[in-house]
Amino acid sequence: MNRPLVAILSGAGISTDSGIPDYRGPNGLWRRDPEAEKLVTYDYYMGDPEIRRRSWQMRRQNRALAAEPNVAHRAVAELERSGTPVRVITQNVDGLHQLAGLPARKVLELHGSAHGVVCTKCHARGAMTDAIARVEAGEDDPPCLECGGVLKSATVMFGENLDPVVLGQALAISKACTVFIAVGSSLQVHPAAGLAGVAADHGARLIVVNAEPTPYDDRADEVVREPIGTALPRLLAELRDA
Closest CA to 86 of 101, 58, 106, 59: 106
Distance CA 36, CA 103 (A): 33
73 classed as catalytic: no
List the catalytic residue out of 73, 111, 123, 202: 111
> For the chain, what is the total number of helices (H) and then of strands (E)?
9, 9
| Rounded (10°) CA dihedral 198, 200, 206, 208 | 50
Judged on CB neighbours under 10 Å (0-12, 13-18, 19+), 32 is exposed
Distance CA 230, CA 228 (A): 5
Distance CA 196, CA 174 (A): 7
Closest CA to 158 of 115, 112, 194, 197: 112
Distance CA 183, CA 105 (A): 20
Q: From its phi and psi, is residue 157 left (phi > 0), alpha (psi between -120 and 50) or beta? A: beta
Measure CA of the first residue to CA of the last residue in the chain; give whole Å: 14
Q: Is the CB of residue 180 less than 8 Å from the CB of residue 207?
A: yes
Which residues are known to be catalytic? 111
